[in-house]
Amino acid sequence: MSVTARLAEFIVKTTAGDCPDAAVTQVRRAALDTLGVTLAGAAEPSAVAVRGVVRAEGSTPLCTVVGTSLRAAPTWAALANGTAGHAHDFDDTNFALMGHPSAPLLAAALAAAEAETASGRDVVVAYLVGFEISTAVGIALNPDHYTRGWHATSSIGTLGCAAAAAKLLGLDVDQTRHALGVAASLASGLKENFGSMTKPFHAGHAARNGVFAAMLAREGFTSSDTALDGTQGYAAAFSQTKLGAGAFEALGHEWQILASGIAVKPYPSCALTHSAIDALLALRAEHALGADQVEDIEVGVNHVVPEVLRHNRPATGLEKKFSMQFCAAEALATGRVEIVSFEEGATAAGTLSLMDRVRMVVDPTLPDGLEQHAWTRVTVRLRDGRTLASPPRGASGHPDQPLTDAQLRAKFLGCAAPVLGAGEAEGVAEQLAHLEDVPDIRALTSRLAATRE
């Protein structure tokens, strides 16, 4: 059996009854988080630019463009919503995928669900099969795939989005196999574009291409049965890994949404900055530190980090999200790292001054597991001669120290209330707490529109 056929069987045969209750709970949390950051991200320049194209090219107005009054055809709505969901880099991550699972997956699933008038339960199952496909491929190919320069949110996420869309469109095994093969040819996304509008576009690109691949397959469009594991297939082109169907034996038995889990972001910046932000906020609070007291800050990181946090002297808000120097300085100088921190012209004088005293160094003593690539070690040397240290640690929001339900709801309301109003945001949060019980997904998506065009 080819890899493509193995994945297609899992997608088609998985039912709501196969999905553990704990997995469904994680989907509810992911939907709450992702829709919040999508509503907030709809105003960002990258999302606005994409909507300009959607408005001109978006065709039949079947689907909601979240946070706006615009409606568009499924592929275009998926593109717009995926881009908005990743615009602030505030959306969740998974360390097996080494990318962002939910922004593209939910964008693809909602678009396909609206077009097919599917239920909330259908969306939950589609999200889960897409998540499991994405993470299974991530486990098989990473870290080689990621360190080669591919942005897995898009390059692997496209396959997950095709899986979710295929499930919602009701494709059979052969059609789903073809959808995955088409998606394999559509997959792309380069890390070199981190710090630019193209990075959030990758999430929309994956969502759009996943829906497009499934729609083509439904019309009888074909692809190679060995598109994933052939000698010139996806795995061979994207990594040095030789794929076999045996690599996916755990599908449906071990659920990665519970095993590797979802890391929810408390800060709107690259996840690789978060443990250092946590450490510096804690040191600042404990010792009442100010930027003028600091001689220098050293942040020890995993070897994969410098190629990602590449903007030592960021010039734009997007570049600041991929700058350890900025994020560390902002945390210690101001005591917060929030959406406003990355607005153009918003940088505090203390942050600007302190950035020159932040050094990022590769620390070979840090653990090197996929789930530990985001760990850091922080040392702060003060001008009075003292040295303050934070030992190697992960970040808040990671699966081993998740945000509480109350913290997650507060994040959602902080993102959603300015767009929807406080009362409606509360109502959407309550509806998402029972997502699998929504009889028609349009009962949810109709509440996500706003007056913004």
Residue-wise pLDDT for 248-303, tens only, equals 999 999 999 999 999 999 999 999 999 999 999 999 999 999 999 999 999 999 99
pLDDT at residue 245, rounded to an integer: 74
Phi, then psi, of 299 in degrees rounded to 5: -115, 110
DSSP-derived 3-state class of residue 325: helix
Low-confidence ranges of the chain (pLDDT < 70): none
**CB neighbours of 452 closer than 8 A, spacing ≥ 6?**
42, 43, 67, 68, 69, 419
pLDDT at residue 349, rounded to an integer: 85
pTM (predicted TM-score) = 0.96
Q: Any idea what DSSP says for residue 99? A: B
pLDDT at residue 238, rounded to an integer: 96
pLDDT at residue 142, rounded to an integer: 94
pLDDT at residue 313, rounded to an integer: 93
What does the alpha-carbon distance between residue 309 and residue 151 come to, in Å, rounded to a whole number?
A: 14
pLDDT at residue 246, rounded to an integer: 82
pLDDT at residue 316, rounded to an integer: 94
pLDDT at residue 248, rounded to an integer: 94
pLDDT at residue 370, rounded to an integer: 80
What does the alpha-carbon distance between residue 345 and residue 64 come to, in Å, rounded to a whole number?
A: 33
* Contact between residue 103 and residue 38 where contact means Cβ atoms under 8 Å apart: yes
- Domains defined for the chain, CATH in brackets: 3-266+431-445 (1.10.4100.10), 271-393 (3.30.1330.120)
Residue 124, phi-psi category: left (phi > 0), alpha (psi -120 to 50), beta (remainder): alpha
Give the per-residue SS3 of 146-188.
Answer: HHCCECHHHHCHHHHHHHHHHHHHCCCHHHHHHHHHHHHHHCC
Q: Is the dihedral of CA 360, 365, 368, 371 positive or negative?
A: negative
What does the block give as tokens for 30?
Answer: 């992911």
